[in-house]
Amino acid sequence: MERLTAVRWTNLEGRNAHVASRSRLMVEYLRRASLWAEVLGGPPKWPIFDIAGALAPAVRVDPEVAAWLEEFLVTHVGGIETENACRAAVRWATLRDTPGVGLPDLPDPFEPLLLVYERGGEVIADESRAFNFGGRRVQIKPWREHLSAEPATALDSDALDALDASDVWRAVI
């Protein structure tokens, strides 16, 4: 919740300053989400879905945190898709922090998506099923087409800043 509440959701300057890193982070989110979808035998919804709910439906977010989240979403976040992503990320954090829960050895699915938001605010898929980052389109393909063992980008801030500074990633994905 702390990370979500710190995001500048309508951050036009950040969106423009971090086009390259945000687009690569979205590719990494889609890759990670597809790995989790594979474990689940397919996602209930694609591309953003409640992984924690699919893995452990009995695990619930603390009611006070859930109320805080809902109030925050209503006043700060504009799109239903982003609201659902925030709910799924908070539920994931709850599951991850629940003692005794065994999870597959896969990377955190929501970390790249949180970094997308932190580096420039909300992003919404357009009518052509793509995320648009200042002219860089990240196409939402069927989940199996995003499967890859290789990460799309490192998640550390130095690597992401270098990507933005060099701005070498111009391809449409």
Q: Which two tokens stand for residue 61?
A: 């977010």
pLDDT at 173 over 60: no
pLDDT of residue 22: 93
**Contact indicator for 36, 147 with CB cutoff of 8 Å:** no
pLDDT of residue 35: 97
Give the pTM: 0.91
pLDDT of residue 14: 66
Between 81 and 51, whose confidence is greater? 51
Sign of the CA dihedral with 139 first, then 122, 85, and 6 last:
positive
Average pLDDT over residues 73-97: 92
Q: Quote the distance between the C-alpha of residue 137 and its chain's center.
A: 16
SS3 139: strand
pLDDT of residue 168: 53
pLDDT at 171 over 50: no
Average pLDDT over residues 100-105: 90
Percent of all residues in the chain with a pLDDT value above 70, rounded to a whole number: 94
pLDDT of residue 121: 86
pLDDT per residue as tens digits for the range 26-68? 999 999 999 999 999 999 899 999 999 999 999 999 999 999 9
The model's confidence at residue 125, banded by pLDDT at 50, 70 and 90, is confident
